[in-house]
């Protein structure tokens, strides 16, 4: 739920790998309505029209450190760019009307502006922009995919919560949820879907695919949000549940396939708390980058 430290002065250290590429800060050239910080990892050798996966949540360096051992080598190998946003607040704003509306001026707007800056500067492939995040970043992933279906091709939410309803109206950084979700009075799947469709009423294109991970013993962000997210996105994308696959990708994990598995997939991690370890192979395969 927390996005860890959001103070740029704590991010002076640079993490580097065998290549000369580093995590570096972008300080200008993009519209920043909520004072976010913008860090980027650009491999030495870019692909032509590189994809832009977009990790989300945590301090930039913290998130980079947790996922870079798997993602940075893949970025170096495949030539895609990684963006690491950072909020000055405790958590991402995934609840206010400005963040839950297309071009509403909230955190989601600022993060999308990072994507647009990167696409323009590096001649990126606008059809291959993806977002992933854990905890507060998982919530932001849901909000970004809901409010900017014209920007993202797919999202992967780890230990997050659905866009709207459960967090809508809870207030920025309160750490609380909507009382209806806490007491089990949750929307039906159609209502979940309508909330997403209402975030950008004029959109009539292809909706992003969603991959969702959650641990059964998570005491920070309730495990029930896995089912809520699956209900929301299966309705939005029109793909009902089809089957479970046990012990996939690890012993104790259950893969929840909707439709043919290309648009909506869930992973229930038995005995795993907060947060589910990042699985770059499965994420990048779902994104079509492996």
Catalytic residue set: 135
Residue found under tokens 């570096």:
24
Residue 144 main-chain phi, psi, to 5 deg: -65, -45
Secondary structure class of 47 (helix, strand, coil): coil
Residue found under tokens 């007491």:
183
The helix-helix angle for 225-237 and 189-199 (nearest 10°) equals 70
Closest CA to 283 of 107, 137, 181: 137
217 burial class (0-12, 13-18, 19+ CB within 10 angstroms)?
exposed
Terminal CA-to-CA distance of the chain, rounded, Å? 29
- 13's tokens: 């250290």
Secondary structure class of 241 (helix, strand, coil): strand
Secondary structure class of 191 (helix, strand, coil): helix
What is the Cα–Cα distance from 99 to 131, expressed in whole angstroms? 16
């Amino acid at each position: 739920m927390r996005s860890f430290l959001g103070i740029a002065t704590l991010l002076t250290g640079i993490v580097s790998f065998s290549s000369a590429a580093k995590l570096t800060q972008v300080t200008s050239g993009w519209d920043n309505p909520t004072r976010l910080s913008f860090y980027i990892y650009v491999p030495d050798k870019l692909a032509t029209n590189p994809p832009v996966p977009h990790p989300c949540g945590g301090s930039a360096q913290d998130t980079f450190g947790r996922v870079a051992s798997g993602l940075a080598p893949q970025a170096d190998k495949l030539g895609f760019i990684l963006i690491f946003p950072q909020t000055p607040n405790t958590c991402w704003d995934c609840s206010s009307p400005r963040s839950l509306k297309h071009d509403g001026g909230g955190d989601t707007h600022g993060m999308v502006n990072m994507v647009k800056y990167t696409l323009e500067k590096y001649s990126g492939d606008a059809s291959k922009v993806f977002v992933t995040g854990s905890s507060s970043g998982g919530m932001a992933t849901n909000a970004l995919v809901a409010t900017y279906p014209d920007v993202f091709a797919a999202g992967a939410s780890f230990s997050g919560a659905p866009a709207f309803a459960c967090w809508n109206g809870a207030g920025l950084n309160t750490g609380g949820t909507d009382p209806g979700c806490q007491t089990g009075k949750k929307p039906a799947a159609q209502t979940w879907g309508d909330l997403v469709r209402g975030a950008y009423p004029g959109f009539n294109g292809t909706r992003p695919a969603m991959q969702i991970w959650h641990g059964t013993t998570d005491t920070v962000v309730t495990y029930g949000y896995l089912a809520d997210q699956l209900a929301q996105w299966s309705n939005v994308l029109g793909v009902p549940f089809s089957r479970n696959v046990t012990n996939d990708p690890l012993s104790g994990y259950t893969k929840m396939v909707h439709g043919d598995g290309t648009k909506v997939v869930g992973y229930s991690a038995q005995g795993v708390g907060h947060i589910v370890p990042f699985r770059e192979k499965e994420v990048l395969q779902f994104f079509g980058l492996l």
